[in-house]
Amino acid sequence: MRDNSATITWTAALLTSGAGAALLFSAWPGINWAIWVTAASISVILSRIAGQKKVEAPLLVLLTWATVLSLGLAVTDKDPIRFFVVISDAMLLGLAVIAVGSESWSALSAKLLAAVPLLAPLRVWQATAYEAADAPGSISSPRARSIIRGTLLSLPIVLILIMLLGSADPVIRWGTDRIAEWLPDWSFPPRLLFFGFLLSITLGANSISSRQIGARLPNMPALPRTSTIGLTEQRMMLWSAAVVLWVFVVLQISYFIHPPPVAMDSGVTFAEYARRGFGELSFAATIVGAIILILEFTRPADATERDRRMLVRLELALLIALELVLVSAFRRVILYEQAYGFTTGRLFPQAYMVGMSLVLIALAIEVTRGSISVSFGRRVAEIALGVFTVLVFWNYEAWIVNQNIDRVAQSGKFDWYYADRLSRDAIPTLVSRRAELPPDARAGLEARLACARLPAERRWFEWNRSVRAADRALRSWDRPRCVRTPPPNPGVDTSLTTSTRPLDGPANKAASSTREE
């Protein structure tokens, strides 16, 4: 049975590495990344089954999440998102290798994330070396050895004959040409090195999956409690923070009844009121949440049950106030967007607030249970990865463009200069809805789109939905001739704009919807 397991382990590793070298090396990111991650995940699972081991739930969840996330490179063209997708997939696959044999999801903690970049490659390359050294002995059947030798001897003969006969027969030549067009261009020296690197990773991962029975999670020592904060100090810290936050919450509620400072001749403009503080409020919520964790960690061991109940009530009151503070910060961003338009710089803080709100709920659950468990760190990682996954598959740039164009009916303004700075994800929406823009904004946008480069022709494994949609959109209308606009006027004051340079061209007056006023 070990012979069959080794054969499957090697075969799956070779096929996965060959696919990676063929599809990933010197290629545009697209569906090829999803194909390789899927192949690597299936390879690990097949090796686990071939070794007659149980496919545990944590391993399956991590591999599935990595596979789903890898599809992000085929649906978006935003460089930062693509970078973080690759990093996240590498972390998930590395964590899956470390978690092989773990029966329960609760056995995993956030501490493992710190060990993945070093421990996962170390274990994988050790397993690769062991598997390579054990390969000759694993082929005990004379018939199997004969088949392998025959394949290695026959393959070069077949390839040489096809190359020679292709020059003499048009049918064979036509077939080889079609196959060559379908396959990527092989530049052997660097691509062979890349293949060897992938093989060293996939073979080791398959070997661990096939051989390892129980979990080998690293022993992450708990942080020593070198000091504590007294009960009196903790009560004072929690009371003072709770009073300040609840006063702020009451003031925010009062603004629903009484006008905010902008209408009371206080000198605070609407833009300053709406924008001022949503970053600070989010940061304050993060700091206070961290303070609660520190107080839980430094709580004296001799605290009575009554003292603990009192501190829990204070912490819950503080967490409720923090949730309301985040609601206030979220509302400020909404007011700012309604007044001055939508941008990614305003959307990302909202995503952070949603994630932070969920983290505070998870913290409240831990507090009510009496102590912070290792599960809290894992839940925080799950929430962060979940929010990131939503951003990967949601075309938020197209949504931003749609929202800003919808505002044109009320404001009559559209910041085409900002829209031009978005990625290809926004191009189809800009092209399809450009007729709804004011004349000046439409002229400026069309002038920029006229100079947009058409995406380069891609091979089938480099397919990307965003790039393909942008290409079709740019080819769907009769673009005017590209005319480069003159450089921006350095004398224009841009201190209040969201752009990094002043607007140029004839549409400046209509391109102010995402600026402060």
Judge whether residue 396 has pLDDT over 70: yes
Between the CA of residue 197 and those of 12, 193, 201, 364, 393, what are the distances in Å?
Answer: 15, 6, 7, 45, 30
Segment 392-411 shows an average pLDDT of 91
* Domain-ending residue, one of 182, 211, 240: 211
pLDDT tens for residues 265-279? Answer: 555 555 566 566 677
Give the type of residue at 360: L
Whether the CB-CB separation of 499 and 418 falls below 8 Å is answered with yes
How far is CA 310 from each of CA 175, 267, 292, 357, 366, rounded to the nearest angstrom?
A: 80, 43, 14, 23, 15
Q: Are residues 374 and 272 in the same domain?
A: yes
CB 332 within 8 A of CB 278: yes
Tell me how far apart the alpha carbons of residues 332 and 282 are, in angstroms, rounded to a whole number. 11
Give CA–CA dist 32/66, Å, rounded: 14
> pLDDT tier at 164 (50, 70, 90 boundaries)?
confident
What is the signed CA dihedral for 89, 194, 209, 11, rounded to 10 degrees?
130
Express each pLDDT in 507-516 by its tens digit. Answer: 333 344 454 4
Least confident span in 340-349, 370-379, 488-497? 488-497
DSSP designation for 68: H
Which range of residues forms the domain containing residue 499? 397-510
180, burial (CB in 10 Å: exposed 0-12, middle 13-18, buried 19+): exposed
Tell me: do 126 and 29 sit in the same domain: yes
**Is the Cβ–Cβ distance between 288 and 243 less than 8 Å?**
no
Structure tokens at 516: 């402060």
One domain for residues 172 and 56: yes
Whether residues 385 and 401 fall in one domain: no
Report residue 280 as tokens.
Answer: 């600070």
Q: Are residues 82 and 203 in the same domain?
A: yes
Total domain count, the chain: 3
3-class SS string, 379-406 = HHHHHHHHHHHHHHHCCHHHHHHHHHHH
Q: How far apart are CA 329 and CA 280, in angstroms?
A: 9
Check whether residue 389 and residue 299 sit in a common domain. yes
DSSP 3-state of 495 = coil
pLDDT surpasses 70 at 429:
yes
Within a domain: 421: yes
Task: Determine if the pTM surpasses 0.85.
Answer: no
Residue 224 lies in a domain: no
Are residues 141 and 103 part of one domain? yes
C-alpha closest to that of 400 among 513, 476, 500: 513
Establish if 69 belongs to a structural domain: yes
Q: Which helix (H) or strand (E) holds 445?
A: helix 439-450
Q: Quick check: is 425 in a domain?
A: yes
Is the pLDDT score of 309 beyond 60? yes
The residue from 370, 394, 418 where one domain ends is 394
Query: Is 416 domain-assigned?
Result: yes
Eight-class DSSP state of 484: P
Q: Do 189 and 249 have their domain in common?
A: no
Q: Considering the domain boundaries, does residue 517 fall inside one?
A: no
Q: Tell me whether residue 219 is in a domain.
A: no
The count of residues in the chain is: 517
Please check whether residue 225 lies inside any domain of the structure. Answer: no
Considering the domain architecture, whether residues 253 and 353 belong to the same structural domain is answered as yes
Report the distance separating Cα 40 and Cα 17, nearest Å: 8
Q: Are residues 377 and 425 in the same domain?
A: no
Task: Tell which of 394, 416, 446 closes a domain.
Answer: 394
For residue 457, give the DSSP letter: P
Q: What is the percent of the chain with per-residue pLDDT over 70, rounded to a whole number?
A: 80
Burial bucket for residue 112 (CB in 10 Å: 0-12, 13-18, 19+): buried
274 and 293 both lie in a single domain:
yes
Examine the pLDDT at 343 and tell me if it is beyond 50. Answer: yes
Same domain, 348 and 366: yes
